[in-house]
Amino acid sequence: MYRSNFKPGSTRWAVRRSQWRSMGISDEDMLKPKIAVINTSNSLSCCYIHLDEISKKVQESIRAAGGLPFEIRTVAPSDFVTSAGKKARYLMPTRDLIVNEIEVMVEGAVLDGMICLSSCDKTTPAHLMAAARLNVPSLLLTCGYQIGGKCHSEKFVDIDDVYESIGAVETGSMTLEELTDMTESAIQSPGVCAGLGTANSMHIVAEALGMSLSGNSPIWANSRRLREYAQAAGKRIVELVEQNICPRDILTAQAVENAIMTVQAVGGSVNTVRHISAVATEAELPIDVVGLYESLSDKITLLTAVRPNGPYRTEDLDVAGGTPGVLSRLKDSLHLDCLTVNGKTVGENIATVVVKNSEVIRPLDNPISTRPGVAIFRGNMAPEGSIVKLSAVPAELHEFKGPANIFDGEDEAITALGNGKIQRGDVVILRNMGVMGGPGTVFAASFVAALNGAGIAQYVAVVTDGELSGLNRGIVVGQLMPEAAAGGPLAVVRQGETVIIDVDKRRIDVDISALELKQRLSDWQPLQREPDGSWLSQYGQLVQPIAQGAVLGKRKIHNNN
């Protein structure tokens, strides 16, 4: 009945039975559906520190439902811890490392299904990608957000405040002692960053896609409700195996559209674009995710103002109705017949949902902004698109024009900020920091946060192909496609040239002639690197363009001719 039940007497049956009997597994248990519990727990980061307890509850529930759980651990990066080495180059490649680890463990052992404990930024998209690739019954349990606290000044702080205060220390408007005080209180529980950054955004995406149980996001990581979801998820994954409901039954083109509309409505992270693109690629869906973000942006308005987009916190969104509340507001635009992992359709899941706070989750006729949360900008600097979190751009800004101030790393840019070498009106370009250029995306996010801490983010624009945080706010154009290292126009912009960011027309252009740009691109040569056998070197040789989600495959360089 199950693919994991091998023929008695065969080599695979005999050697596996020997192993499992030594572990105390009975013959009766060996006939049950075998479920991988993908646990990303480690003690490097508070994002994951609670997952062992959650894993135990999931395993208990799987056993009670008639399944046999096997806990499998994978690599798990934290954007605030694993970013220390190689200028954060390991973060983005680790997403795809997780996917491949899951493939090896689940397919190598021929297990019947999997439940993934998803937490920090890269684990949720990796789990969705693995589910789409393997197409065995799968379910994501999103494991929740952290909360902040009060520092000695009685000011409430969270990790977002700490992150942005680096620039204040760099420019002298805050002391090191004040920053240290903030770090003492900024995190008061396990879980992912408190704001609507990439982690919480991807938790919402997982539910909007139908791959997690309805109401699982956002959720406080230290709550009884999360433990209840762990029990429900353990039971449900066994049912999914019995019913043979697989991820590609759920991850359809219509489900992807639902997820994109949800991101637009909440003002989710810019990084959702690359991650949803990667999920679609792994699911072999013939769709243009970047184009969908572009076309749907005229259809969906911003319905929430959760930090960094506004004053509310993730816990406010949770209490107001969470993802089901947002979906209920969008019901006239959604594909309501899409299947979800609980066996119901999106429409059935939200049929009785009532939003509990209409200020936190606005109705369509009273949005926070008529702009969408995330928009695609094109132009001669980004012919294949770039991404702007419009919900985090000042509402009164219609155009930003200034001289290019170019850096090849954020450390150099942060130093220049502290030395007064970045002026109001500058367009700071951080380039050669994309998935190919790193290789592995290099952090640009800390510089953007430093601008906010220095109090000049509304006067300086940032344009980059590097790694941005979903917590970033300000005039930021990210993920320029093609990236500089792939032969994109960003590679040939020169110091001091005028860059024009037109918010209303959603364009980004450098003020040079088409002929001049064509000539420069024709003369451009990619940086040659000798492979050194490292994971980053392997990644750099295999990673596909960011528009395809930066999944691993045959490397493509943009053709400038």
333 is catalytic: no
Say if 554 falls within a structural domain: no
Same domain, 96 and 38: yes
According to DSSP, the residues that pair with 151 across neighbouring strands are none
Helix (H) or strand (E) holding 323: helix 322-329
Distance between CA 451 and CA 442 in Å, rounded? Answer: 18
Half-sphere exposure of 117 (CA within 13 A, CB side): 36
127 token code pair: 């789990």
Predicted confidence pLDDT, tens digits, the chain (561 residues): 899 999 999 999 999 999 999 999 999 999 999 999 999 999 999 999 999 999 999 999 999 999 999 999 999 999 889 888 888 899 999 999 999 999 999 999 999 999 999 999 999 999 999 999 999 999 999 999 999 999 877 889 999 889 888 888 878 889 999 999 999 999 999 999 988 999 999 999 999 999 999 999 999 999 999 999 999 999 999 999 999 999 999 999 999 999 999 999 999 999 999 999 999 999 999 999 999 999 998 899 999 999 888 999 999 999 999 999 999 999 999 999 999 999 999 999 999 999 999 999 999 999 999 989 999 999 999 999 999 999 889 888 999 999 999 998 888 999 999 899 999 999 999 999 999 999 998 888 889 988 988 889 999 999 999 988 766 788 999 999 999 999 999 999 999 999 999 999 999 999 999 999 999 999 999 888 888 889 999 999 899 988 889 999 854 444 444
Question: Same domain for 221 and 107?
Answer: yes
Residues 164 and 119 in one domain: no
List the domain range (segments joined by +) for residue 238.
Answer: 32-147+189-350
Do 156 and 280 have their domain in common? no
| Domain boundary pick from 294, 315, 350 | 350
Q: HEC states along 513-533?
A: CHHHHHHHHHHCCCCCCCCCC
Report strand pairing: 386-388 vs 375-377: antiparallel
Task: Please report whether residue 12 resides in a domain.
Answer: no
298 and 174, same structural domain? Answer: no
Q: Strand pairing of 498-502 and 68-73?
A: unpaired
The single-letter DSSP state of residue 191 is S
Does 253 share its domain with 175? no
Domain boundary among 139, 162, 185: 185
Question: Is residue 520 assigned to a domain?
Answer: yes
**3-class SS at 442?**
coil
The two three-digit tokens of residue 407, written as one number: 């850096």
Give the tokens for residue 40.
């990303």
Tokens matching residue 204: 């919402």
Of 394, 441, 395, 470, give the one whose Cα is nearest residue 218.
470
CB proximity list for 292: less than 8 A, separation 6 or greater = 256, 257, 260
Domain identity same for 482 and 411: yes
Q: Which two tokens stand for residue 442?
A: 């290099």
The verdict on 326 and 426 lying in the same domain is no
- Does residue 194 sit in the same domain as residue 157? no
Distance CA 261, CA 11 (A): 50
The residue from 269, 391, 469, 513 that is catalytic is: 469
Query: Do 122 and 84 fall within a single domain?
Result: yes
- Residue in 189, 89, 192 with CA at minimum distance from that of residue 471: 192
**In this structure, what are the phi and psi dihedrals at residue 265, rounded to the nearest 5 degrees?**
-70, -30
Q: At what angle do helices 272-282 and 253-266 cross, to 10 degrees?
A: 170
In the prediction, which pLDDT does 554 show? 57
Any idea what DSSP says for residue 507? E
Give the domain CATH number at 77. 3.40.50.2300
**Torsions phi, psi for 484 (to 5 deg):** -60, -45
Angle between helices 91-102 and 123-134 (to 10 degrees): 40
> Does some domain include residue 366?
no
28: left (phi over 0), alpha (psi -120 to 50) or beta: alpha
At which of 317, 350, 383 does a domain end? Answer: 350
Task: Give a yes or no: residue 4 inside a domain.
Answer: no
> What is the reported pLDDT for 83?
86
Total structural domains within the chain: 3
**Is the same domain home to 176 and 309?**
no
Residue 456 near residue 503 (C-beta atoms within 8 A): no
Q: Is residue 364 part of a domain?
A: no
DSSP states of 8-42 = TTSHHHHHHHHHHHHTT--HHHHTSPEEEEEE---
pLDDT at 532: 87
Residue 554 vs residues 116, 541, 545, 551: alpha-carbon distances, Å: 28, 8, 10, 10
DSSP 8-state class, residue 441: P
Q: State whether residue 174 is helix, strand or coil.
A: coil
Confidence at residue 1, expressed as pLDDT on a 0 to 100 scale: 83
Same-domain check for residues 156 and 302? no
Tokens of 175: 């002391």
